[in-house]
Amino acid sequence: EVHLVESGGDLVQPGGSLRLSCAASGFTFSSHAMTWVRQAPGKGLEWVSAISGSAGSTFYADSVKGRFTISRDNSKNTLYLQMNSLRVEDTALYYCARETGSSSGWFIDSWGQGTLVTVSS
Amino acid sequence: DIVMTQSPDSLAVSLGERATINCKSSQSVLYSSNNKSYLAWFHQKPGQPPKLLIYWASIRESGVPDRFSGSGSGTDFTLTISSLQAEDVAVYYCQQYHSTPYTFGQGTKLEIK
């Protein structure tokens, strides 16, 4: 069974930094692209960033480009999101999600429970 | 970026009746090379993460009840629940995975009438 457990969420001041982690188990981690999706309180889903299985390709939403960095350690089955220059509008529940698919394309099929990031002074 | 627009924003349906949610993309999410539309549907119950229902616009995820079906191609898509059950109360989202950023619709809140 796919298991994704996020951690690292916290209260941080504007301009601060935070690193989120997502521990994966129950599948061959390196064979799957991974994604971060966030959800501001009471709002909808916002795709944030994705990384290929080999970590050779990374993708970002414009709202976080240049501030957030996605990475992974396949030897530790762990996904990361380094968040710098945090803004109040980055406040959200951050979900780690697994993508599945093939050369045709990849889509999200499993989600973690999320970790809460609050940016406030 | 591809903008995903769902309609309606909220919907109230009686138990056992049909529920229909629409999703429109600002540009086609169909790849002509494989004739696949890169569109997924999720639902999210209160306090839970989203759950995948449908991918490739019409393929039901394993374990999803067959009352859920997806249809459409190109820019216009529909999620249909053929006979609404109490456990289907949730917010429903469409998402395109044709090109990054993989945008979501704004969500449709489904309630019991």
**pLDDT tens sequence across B63-113:** 999 999 999 999 999 999 999 999 999 999 999 999 999 999 999 999 999
Share above pLDDT 70 across residues of chain A, in percent, rounded to a whole number: 100
β-strands A115-119, A11-12 pairing: parallel
Residues A105, B93: C-beta atoms closer than 8 Å: no
Cα A81 from Cα A117, distance rounded (Å): 12
- 3 state SS of B81: strand
**pLDDT tens sequence across A6-26:** 999 999 999 999 999 999 999
Beta pairing partners, A111: A97
Cα B103 from Cα B99, distance rounded (Å): 9
Å between A16 CA and nearest CA of chain B: 25
Residues B104, A62: C-beta atoms closer than 8 Å: no
**The two structure tokens encoding residue B52:** 């995948």
For residue B107, which residues of chain A lie inside 8 Å, CB to CB?
44-45
According to the model, what pLDDT value does residue A103 have?
80
**A116 contact B CB<8A:** no
Confidence of residue A5 (pLDDT cuts 50, 70, 90): very high
**pLDDT tens sequence across B22-42:** 999 999 999 988 899 999 999
